[in-house]
Structure 1
Amino acid sequence: MDRFLGFVKKEFFHIFRDRRTMIILFGIPIIQLMLFGTVITNEIKDARIAIYDQSKDEVTQEITTKLMSSGYFLLDQNLESTADIEAIFKQGKVKEVLVFGRDFSRKLQREGKADVQIIADASDPNLGKMLATYTTGIINDYIFKQMGNLHLPMQIEPEVRMVYNEGLKSVYMFVPGIMAMILMLISAMMTSISITREKELGTMEILLVSPLRPSQIILGKVTPYLVLSFINALVILGIGHFVFGVPIKGSWGLLLGESILFILMALSLGIMISSLAKTQMVAMFISVIALMLPTILLSGFIFSIENMPLPLQIVSNIMPPKWFIIILRNIMLKGVGMAYVWKETLVLLGMTAFFVVVAVKKFKVRLE
């Protein structure tokens, strides 16, 4: 029994000395719990909205104040006409527009009825539906509490309209997200594992002493994944468009060009991971922890970034899939051109350049 206890004690010490094992045992569960606990939420917080107030009377001002003081909304700007609505939605920051009709207060007090239009960006259908529900609830609460002293039955009938996804189909949200996740995993993870395998098996030395230059070796390793990932992108877009009916309102050329840019970025990330990892297991571990979970949780694929705590919103900015998903949704659902996605494109270009520079500095021509 003493020998067995001694053996168990030895195993505990062995585990405690291994930093990677400790990270897997305790670090990953804590990180997952914190991420899921803060990311998965049905609450809205600081959603940006715009208001077109044609009446500008006391009642509409009080309703606006009540909306802003709820903690759910932030007023991005006041619009001057309905012509500004489409343009502000295409910019991507504003998620809802509230339109008050003319003579709002007078109609409400004399006729007991007034109209307001709620226009929500349903490219993220869950967020669009929640925004409309919250707004309707706050307006009705105002009527019951603030205007209950009037004898006429007060009624505001919000007309809810969802743009870019009138049917609130979840597939409109999932196709861009799945495309980003698949391209990231295939391009980055498979590239990193493929190159690390050569190093681990010792065949990289054979390749390095061949007539091929190191740059040619790397290009030769990643070119098949570039081609296969691009084919995957075409397949995903084809199935999404022709089978599930996801619209592609923008330019196919721009969409495919952005897809190639994202694939190149993911390939460069895979090369960087392979230059840092010495074994396939380490490369796979880094890829899964650094790519898969953040792509699902922090890219806006499933959960709205605007509803996350501020620290996670900041962290999400370094997640490449976030920017690619924004580009996909804007081109596919909103039909925008480069004028509306140039910032996200520059971010992906900058990330690609950064990963390439780090990989080049870390890559060793001769293995130690």
Structure 2
Amino acid sequence: MKPQQHNQSKTGAARRQFFSFVKKELLHIWRDKRTLFILLGMPVVQIIIFGFALTNEVKNSKIAVLDQSKDAATSSLIAELNASRYFDVEENLTSYKEIEAAFKKGKIKLAVVLPSQFSEDLKHTNKASVQLIADASDPNVANTLTNYATAVVMDYQDRVTNKQRLPYSIQVETRMLYNPQLKGAYNFVPGVMAMVLLLVCTMMTAITIVREKEMGTMEIMLVSPMRPQMVVIAKAVPYFLLSSINIASILLLSVFALEVPINGSLVLLIAESLLFTLVSLSLGLLISSAAGSQQVAMFISLVALFLPTVMLSGFMFPIENMPFPLRMVSNIVPAKWFYIIVRSVMIKGVGLAAVWKETLILTGMLLFLLTVAIKRFKIRLQ
């Protein structure tokens, strides 16, 4: 046999062995229904929970109204507050003394006080006051509710005055770009994508290889003619394929269930998601090389990665508000850069020119993690 034909034969045999390892791992995942449920079910559950339950929007808040004027103008304003999806008028109070009692009962979160002569003041002096009293034991909710109520009052004012500018009045016009309705899902969907892909890919890859080492089957596979690095990569390929299904399910749920649009390029969004998946798989390979047992691999994947992903990726808490050391640490969290990419491409509709830096950082992380992981496996398992 000629040398060229011999090399082609060896390449073909190595390719067949590689795909046989991939097929073996796929069959193992298919037989393990619990693992399959975690891989495919957890992303769906988390996107639903974060999209519908864990939201920073405040809806259907119970409020009380003290209407001291009781005229057509105040009745119309109260009706607009009640018609808003943010408020439900729970009580109609008759005096100031009842306001604090209503707050102490825990029934309401906001009280709206409409003074006497409200309609007369509005007609004759072009001025009328509305007092908003909020329960500031939760300052974020209190601030949000007062902003919502102020917006409703300003909309009512514009309708009454036909948007005419009054003498010596300063009108502030506010526009909310990309998310005019301030839906919490616009923020949580990119964050959940980063968290789910990182945790699922990293945890499952780390555990499956450590399990092979604990059972002694990894050494059996490594005696095959295929190089140890290719054996390890072959075990990661099925999780890459399953992660692709997760990406598709998350995007479908986001668009059709949570009504979060994909304003940018779908191809770019999928490509960036696959890049982040490869980074997560490489991190899982690195953890599996350092962990001596499944328990250690699970601990590192869940505890050591979950908290940094949630706390330092930017989707739960603004990184700009953190101390300088934490801001520096956040730069080594892959989820931070992927969150910026998804939010920019999916919500803002930008292209690769706007996220090239984040893409380059993720590519560098992929090369670094994959190189270190393969070298450590080569030393320990060959």
Q: Same fold (TM over 0.5)?
A: yes
Alignment correspondent of 2:331: 317
1:211 maps to what in 2? Answer: 225
**Would you say 1:156 and 2:156 are equivalent positions?**
no
Deviant stretches of 4+, over 3 Å = 153-156, 364-368
Residue identity opposite 1:156 in structure 2: I
AA of the residue aligned to 2:204: M
1:360 deviation in Å? 2.1
The residue aligned with 2:342 is 328
Q: Which residue of 2 aligns with 1:343?
A: 357
Given residue 328 of structure 2, which amino acid in structure 1 is its aligned partner? I
- Counterpart mapping for 1:82-161 below 5 A: 155-161=169-175
SS in 2 for 1:156: coil
Tell me how far apart the structure 2 counterparts of residues 180 and 325 of structure 1 sit (CA, whole Å). Answer: 6
Q: Which amino acid aligns with 1:201?
A: M
SS in structure 1 at match of 2:175? strand
Query: TM-score under structure 2 normalisation?
Result: 0.55
Distance 2:282 2:170 in 1: 55
Quick one: which of 339, 349, 353 aligns to 2:367?
A: 353
Candidates 245, 265, 268, aligned match of 2:279? 265
- CA distance, structure 2, for counterparts of residue 366 and residue 332 of structure 1: 42
Which one has a bigger Cα radius of gyration? 2
1:160 Cα deviation from its structure 2 partner: 1.6
The answer for the alignment partner of 1:238 in structure 2 is 252
- In 1, Cα distance between equivalents of 2:182 and 2:282: 36
Q: Partner amino acid for 1:200?
A: E
Could you say if the C-alpha distance between residues 358 and 313 of structure 1 is closer, same or farther in structure 2, counting changes exceeding 3 Å?
Answer: same
Q: 1: CA distance between counterparts of 2:334 and 2:380? A: 31
Pick closer, same or farther for the CA change 1:365–1:207 going to 2, 3 Å.
farther
Give the Å deviation of 1:361.
Answer: 2.3
**1:230–1:257 CA distance, 2 compared to 1 (3 A):** same
| 2:170 counterpart SS class | strand
Query: Within the alignment, does 1:279 sit opposite 2:293 as a pair?
Result: yes
Q: Which residue of 1 aligns with 2:211?
A: 197
Letter in 1 for 2:193: M
Pair 1:296 & 2:310 matched: yes
Give the equivalent residue in structure 2 for 1:47.
none
Instruction: Tell me the SS of whatever aligns to 1:165.
Output: coil
Deviation at 1:219, TM superposition (A): 1.9
2:185 corresponds, among 145, 148, 171, to 171
Is the contact between residue 229 and residue 378 of structure 2 (CA under 8 Å) also seen in structure 1? no
Aligned partners of 1:358, 1:275: CA distance in 2, in Å? 10
Say whether residues 1:362 and 2:376 are aligned partners: yes
Shift of 1:279: 1.0
Give the match's secondary structure for 1:247: coil
Q: Deviations over 1:27-65 (max 9, x none)?
A: xxxxxxxxxxxxxxx9xxxxxxxxxxxxxxxxxxxxxxx
- Aligned partner of residue 160 in structure 1, secondary structure: coil
Q: Give the drift of 1:289.
A: 2.6
Structure 1 runs not aligned, ≥5 long:
1-41, 43-125, 137-152
In the alignment, is the contact (CA less than 8 A) between 1:208 and 1:365 conserved in 2?
no
Identity %: 58
TM score, norm. by length of structure 1: 0.57
Q: Any unmatched runs of 5+ in structure 2?
A: 1-55, 57-139, 151-166
Residues 1:366 and 1:158: Cα distance change in structure 2 (over 3 Å): closer
Aligned partner letter, 2:201:
S
Q: Give the match for residue 156 of structure 2.
A: none
Q: Secondary structure at the match of 1:159?
A: coil
Contact 1:295–1:301 (8 Å) recurs in 2? no
